Amino acid sequence: MPQPRPNPGQPMPQPKPNPNCVDNQQCAGLVRTKDFCNSRSFPDSVKQGLCPRSCGFC
């Protein structure tokens, strides 16, 4: 069964900004010194908890 396609004349719906998308105070140092968002040493749940904005979770 074919998937419905968006109407080309209609703008794509934009996600609503998340007011809770704020990095923890420790985030700046982690991102700067440990490449925190790209590190495999930290699970995504920790990255999302400390640096959701900087790591692109929201």
- In this predicted structure, which of 11-20, 28-37, 47-56 has the lowest mean pLDDT? 11-20
pLDDT band at 50 (very low <50, low <70, confident <90, very high): very high
Look-up: residue for tokens 């998937």? 3
Number of compact structural domains in the chain: 1
Does 53 map to a domain?
A: yes
Tell me what the mean pLDDT of segment 34-53 comes to: 94
Does 49 map to a domain?
A: yes
pLDDT in the model for residue 6: 58
Does 8 map to a domain?
A: no
Residue 23 CA to residue 25 CA, distance in Å, equals: 6
Residue 37 CA to residue 32 CA, distance in Å, equals: 10
Does 12 map to a domain?
A: no
pLDDT in tens, 3-24: 556 556 666 555 555 677 999 9
Does 3 map to a domain?
A: no
pLDDT in the model for residue 21: 93
